[in-house]
Amino acid sequence: MRTYSFDVIVIGSGAAGFNAACRVSAEKSVAIVTEGRNKGTSRNTGSDKQTYYKLGLSGDMPDSVMKMAQNLFDCGCVDGDNALCEAALSVRNFINLCELGVEFPSNRYGEYVGYKTDHDLYARATSAGPLTSKFMTEALEKQADKLGIPIFDGYYVFEILKSEDRVCGLMTIEIVSGELVAFRCADIIMCTGGPAVIYRDSVYPIGHTGSTGLALMAGAKAQNLTEWQYGLASIEPRWNVSGNYMQVLPRFLSIDKDGNEREFLLDFFEDKYEALSTVFLKGYQWPFDSEKILNGSSVIDLLVYRERVMRKRKVYLDFTRNPFKIDTIDFSKLSEEAFEYLKKANACFGRPIDRLETMNQPAIELYRSKGKDIGR
């Protein structure tokens, strides 16, 4: 059997895999083994503006490693040591990406400005646009190439090998030839991404797999498996419709098999402006949250579910017309939060697509690049 030996094998060629391999290569011999160099969520998925989360690095809001670790820990799913490492290393890894050329926004004084998301008080979020994780992966891939890290592309790992209680290698199948190929190593870094099957019907790129089970079958103890987000997404193309896609107040409609169309949000909301304010809120409360059904925006996920799954209708977002046959939205009737946000963004006018053009042109371009003109 063809066999290779390295100190460390990194499985996966997303942002995590390339970054881990580059870091390790300073001290050990390392190779990347991947099912597909161009596969993975990092390179192939995103949203209106993909958010990168790190320690706050701008303005006068004091932040600290301990506070960030505490925030990660407080939700109850993250191991404390992992939370502390993630917080402590967040600056180093972020600056590395900036140095590698990922264009995170900075102001004229050189501060890496941040914004608040998911109720974070410290403006830790930043973004290089809808394709942030793609840019990150490409930059890290270039670095890995420069460092001469071997990449075994097209090798599917199907088993982790152990000698007594320690890892000693892994078994792969080379996808094209069907040949079994073994790798000997002392350590494995799993960078195989998220739980693919959970997203099978929504955003996970078709044909992509997740492989957490590999580690569990080898006896690894798991942490943090309950920490994931699920929310509204378009399926052609597969893309999250969070943030600005909701904040511009698109029309939600469903169509039956005969082409009959209806707006369904008013099945639940009695007041049109309350419905619009809730759609706005969906923008930054994007993931479904059972605690935000009546007291937040997750009721919209349930209404979409009812149309799509229970009534078997197709659900669309329409950016070409305002919802509920409103010709001119009276923005002052929205919740204060929505009104203030849209006012600051100079977006209190026109149709959803006009507002999106003002607030986030790349979010429109993104769909165009995938063959869908949401302006039509």
Tell me how far, at minimum, the Cβ of 210 lies from ligand FAD, in Å. Answer: 6
Nearest to ligand FAD of 209, 335 (CB atom):
209
Tell me how far, at minimum, the Cβ of 15 lies from ligand FAD, in Å. Answer: 5
CB atoms closer than 10 angstroms to residue 119: 8
Angstrom distance (rounded) from CA 152 to CA 162: 21
Question: Are 78 and 159 contacting, i.e. CB atoms less than 8 angstroms apart?
Answer: no
Nearest to ligand FAD of 54, 251 (CB atom):
54
Q: Which positions lie near ligand FAD, rule CB under 6 A?
A: 11-17, 33-36, 39-42, 45-47, 50-51, 133, 156-157, 191-194, 203-204, 209, 211, 240
Nearest to ligand FAD of 47, 322 (CB atom):
47
Q: Look at residue 173 and give its three-state secondary structure.
A: strand
Tell me how far, at minimum, the Cβ of 93 lies from ligand FAD, in Å. Answer: 12
Nearest to ligand FAD of 50, 277 (CB atom):
50
Nearest to ligand FAD of 40, 250 (CB atom):
40
Nearest to ligand FAD of 113, 266 (CB atom):
113
Nearest to ligand FAD of 12, 352 (CB atom):
12
**Residue type for 80, please?**
G
Tell me how far, at minimum, the Cβ of 262 lies from ligand FAD, in Å. Answer: 28
Q: Say if residue 352 is preceded by a cis peptide, omega within 30 of 0.
A: no
The single residue listed with the structure tokens 């063959």 is 371
Tell me how far, at minimum, the Cβ of 335 lies from ligand FAD, in Å. Answer: 24
Burial of 282 from C-beta contacts in 10 A (0-12 / 13-18 / 19+)? buried
Looking at the DSSP bridge assignments, the partners of residue 255 are: 261, 314
Tell me how far, at minimum, the Cβ of 35 lies from ligand FAD, in Å. Answer: 3
CB atoms closer than 10 angstroms to residue 75: 11
Tell me how far, at minimum, the Cβ of 268 lies from ligand FAD, in Å. Answer: 26
| Beta strands at 187-190 and 8-11: parallel, antiparallel or unpaired | parallel
Query: What residue is closest to ligand FAD based on CB?
Result: 14
Strand order in the sheet with 155-163: 2-5, 180-184, 166-174, 155-163
